[in-house]
Amino acid sequence: MGVLDIVPAGVLTGDNVRKLFEYAKEQQFAIPAINVTSSSTANAVLEAARDIKSPIIIQVSQGGSAYFAGKGLANDKQQASIAGAVAAAHHVRILAKEYGVPVVLHSDHCAKKLLPWFDGMLKADEDYYKVHQEPLFSSHMLDLSEESKEENIETCVAYFKRMAPIGLWLEMEIGITGGEEDGVDNTGVDSSRLYTQPPDIYDVHTALAAISPNFSIAAAFGNVHGVYKPGNVRLHPELLQKHQLYAEEKTGKKKPLFLVFHGGSGSTKEEIKTAVENGVVKMNVDTDTQFAYLVGIRDFVQNKSGYLQSQVGNPEGADKPNKKYYDPRVWVREGEKTLTARVKEACADLGNVNCVLLILQDGRSIIGVMAGYDQKSNVVLSDSKERVYSADEGVEEIPLGLYLVKGDQIVLIGEVNEALDQSVDLATIRAEPLPPIRY
């Protein structure tokens, strides 16, 4: 049974969102939530999900929404953030079905001072509901964690009463995510506030469960936005088990909480695994995917420098045109490929892969991601480049194995007898010199 037996492809709303998260909790995997800021980044995320046949969460922050609308627009009343979020939502709604994967369409942190942005999105959801009997978005986050617990819960309850009847999921935050988020600088916050206590979580659960089961809690366990030098961030995902046990004792239900992991970038595979074991169903990743998007473009600009200095004239001749190098569809595409690869890695870390996935890497350097699906006759392998290799296209069954992506070619390095989801340290298996490290 796969995820498409549980929920349909396309943007999910209402009980389908809960069904997906319930399935994830049961099966002990989580879904990455990737911040997008443009159609290009949104498409690259959808492409990753499509390649590995996995559900995905696409989210926009308040600043990301304004960027989606265009930085040239005024945003003094959150009008650009509202319009940008709505535009992003329609874009994702139209394309999610084409990519054929379930998508949770979400808005990220909304602090008290940004509530006009939230109000604008909620109005768009209500208007959409009148026509389509479902909201525009799947879910929204409220982040009143800077305020008192009472005010935080009260605000969430008031909004949730409006959201639940139209099929919107609510994510709320209690305890503070360190680092920076839109207009809120939590870099100097007292470290005790970075770890939420079980009774506080349970108070949230009690207040929201009285309205609807469709909500999740971003509990702080030392999470920080951004990536810093090792040792700066002390993540304690094992604390999440205490929240589950506390709520379990009170409610009599096993692992009753849907938990959200903020600040996913830079986390170790072990930390991620522990979080998922303790009921995390969503992990936010922004900083690492921002960097991944840069890498492909950076490398292209560096490697093709001689072709990018003028419209005409390159190392092959003074009269050679360079259009096929400076066309944004060429160089932006390189960023999309490296972003797609990083999203697949996040999916693999979270166990959110409905096929065989091989990540070829040297330490933290990804040099290729292979997604495959082998049902004997129907092999599909993607090298996270343009092509998807499939049996239908006349490519014969491709054995499961360790592959090296070399230019447009995929080279089999070694066969593997059983399906596996794993990262492969190329240094231990390579039979030939490493290609240039791309990541």
Ligand X SMILES: O=C(CO)COP(=O)(O)O
Ligand Y SMILES: O=C[C@H](O)COP(=O)(O)O
Angstrom distance (rounded) from CA 239 to CA 222: 10
Q: Does 178 bind ligand Y (CB under 6 A)?
A: no
Task: Return the C-alpha torsion angle 7, 160, 240, 194, nearest 10.
Answer: 130
Left, alpha or beta for 231 (phi > 0: left; psi -120 to 50: alpha)? left
Q: Does 61 bind ligand Y (CB under 6 A)?
A: yes
Angstrom distance (rounded) from CA 162 to CA 144: 17
Q: Does 62 bind ligand X (CB under 6 A)?
A: no
Judged by beta carbon, residue 181 or residue 334, the one nearer ligand X is: 181
Q: Does 140 bind ligand X (CB under 6 A)?
A: no
- The answer to whether residue 299 is catalytic is no
Tokens of 50: 């499509």
Nearest residue to ligand Y by CB is: 181
Tokens of 191: 């470290």
SS3 165: helix
Mask for 121-150, x = binds ligand Y (CB under 6 A): ------------------------------
Q: Does 265 bind ligand X (CB under 6 A)?
A: yes
Q: How far is the CB of 216 from ligand X (least distance, A)?
A: 13
* Annotated active-site residue in 51, 76, 108, 319: 108
Burial 91-108 (b: 16+ CB within 10 A, else e): bbbebbeebebbbbbbbb
Beta carbons within 8 Å of 209's beta carbon, 6+ residues apart: 215
**Under rule CB under 6 A, which residues in 212-231 are in contact with ligand X?**
225-226
**Residue 65 binding result from ligand X, ligand Y, Zn ion, none, given CB thresholds of 5 to 8 Å by partner type:** none
Q: Does 286 bind ligand X (CB under 6 A)?
A: yes
Q: State the amino acid at position 264 in one-letter form.
A: G
- Of 18, 50, 53, 109, the residue at the interface with ligand Y (CB under 6 A) is 109
Q: Does 35 bind ligand Y (CB under 6 A)?
A: yes
Q: In 307-367, which ranges are continuous DSSP H helix? A: 323-326, 328-349
Q: Does 177 bind Zn ion (CB under 5 A)?
A: yes
Q: Note whether 221 and 236 are within 8 A (CB).
A: yes
**Residue 271 binding result from ligand Y, Zn ion, ligand X, none, given CB thresholds of 5 to 8 Å by partner type:** none
- Of 10, 32, 55, 63, the residue at the interface with ligand Y (CB under 6 A) is 63
Mask for 181-220, x = binds ligand Y (CB under 6 A): xx--------------------------------------
Strand partners, 282: 31, 260
Numbers of helices and strands, H then E, in the chain: 13, 20
Burial 243-256 (b: 16+ CB within 10 A, else e): bbebbeeeeeeebb
Q: Does 143 bind Zn ion (CB under 5 A)?
A: yes
Judged by beta carbon, residue 197 or residue 265, the one nearer ligand Y is: 265
**Under rule CB under 5 A, which residues in 283-342 are in contact with Zn ion?**
284
Q: Does 264 bind ligand X (CB under 6 A)?
A: yes
What are the catalytic residues? 108
Q: Name the site residues for ligand X (rule: CB under 6 A).
A: 35, 108-109, 225-226, 262-265, 284-288
Q: Name the site residues for ligand Y (rule: CB under 6 A).
A: 35, 61, 63-64, 108-109, 181-182, 225, 286
